[in-house]
Amino acid sequence: MSQVMPFNPPWFLRNGVAMTVYTAIWAGREWENTTLHPEPPYKEMIFTGAGGVPIFGWVAIPQNAHSTIVGTYGITGSLDNQWFLRLLGRKAFAQRYAVVLFDWRAHGKTAQLSPTLTSDGLYEGEDFVCIAAEAKALGCPAPFWFTGFSLGGQLALWGVKAAQNLGRGVRESQSCAEVPSVERTGVQESGVRENLTPEDIGGAAVICPSLDSIRSLSYLVNDPWGKRLEQGITQELKKLALAIYKAHPGAIELAAIERANSIWGFDQELVIGRLGFPSVESYYEASSGLHLLPQLEKPTLILYAADDPLFDPAIVSDLQAACDRNPAIDLVLTRYGGHVGYISSQEGQLQAGDPDPWWAWNRILEWCGKKGLEIRDQGLGRSFRSE
């Protein structure tokens, strides 16, 4: 189901490029001044992801927690510098969500633990489920809500797909390490993964998810501003690969890193061979978030801006059509917002009843809260009927 929801940004941010640049450069310097909520008392954890890959993360559980947010960020970065995700952590913890944030494959401290490279959701979706299973054993309550933005949003959508396969005897439900070690998690050695049920996963709520890499990358590199942005992302990806090269000698060829002079080239040189794909096109087709949408059965919220400058505008109509055919998906399409921006004006904050300018995170927490109440009401209804 798709709907148009009013989002009211400042007048000078009613342009996708302006909103995106402002958020990336200026908002990141002032974000802590926009919230009264302190950093949650995170504990560092090493989870065991799909195929036994160690995943570094933070966990914070407030008193009387009612549900859990599990989230990660976009194509580059780390927990240390991803302020937009940390902002969510502060807001969610203040609303009594347990919070689990993690460095996804090949990023941050996860890259120091393992040379395993990215798969754009094919395995990261299973990582979400594995992390939720261990988080539940640590005391994080269900329902679990998967979230992310940009490419991280695509990963979270794959997390929902993987969660749907719990107990069905397919690959997604079997690829977590069978017994997480005590040294890594501090939890009991048995029953961790088995303790998670499909009903424990509430669903996903994502901001500006990547949906069609083939079209969007072609669109990006053919735009003068987009080409500069693409080259900036490429340089960050090369830094990521060099960090893995230094931390895990022999895991990556230096010459391959040097040849990776575009996002497409990074996946061509370093990713697809390890995953068994014959081409970048086939890899992007297999991991496409747009193709995944018809398969989602759990409640899913997608916030998407029509003026997002990173993605091909033609994707919007396909996204609307896919969501209209799937009643599990709530698509909120806005005229403005840029790429993972959604900074609201003071007037917009009053209209939405928001305490701060972070319109997208406010809608996500609002939606998760509403869906959580529905889940609890349904559970009570089942209990009464069973009596």
Give the residue numbers annotated as catalytic, written as ranges.
150, 308, 339
What's the CA gap between 3 and 227, in Å, rounded? 32
The whole-angstrom distance between residue 291's C-alpha and the CA centroid of its chain comes to: 17
Q: In the sheet that 329-334 helps form, which strands lie side by side, from edge to edge?
A: 2-4, 329-334, 300-305, 201-207, 144-149, 67-71, 97-102, 54-60, 43-48
Instruction: Tell me which long-range contacts 36-43 makes (C-beta under 8 A, separation of at least 24).
Output: 37/90, 37/91, 37/93, 37/94, 38/90, 39/86, 39/89, 39/90, 40/89, 40/90, 40/93, 40/99, 42/89, 42/99, 42/101
Q: Is the dihedral of CA 61, 73, 116, 272 positive or negative?
A: positive
Closest by CA to 218, choosing from 128, 295, 311, is: 311
Question: Reduced to 3 DSSP states, what percent helix, strand and coil does the chain have, rounded to the nearest 5?
Answer: 50, 15, 35
Give how far Cα 55 sits from Cα of 7, 99, 302, Å: 35, 15, 25
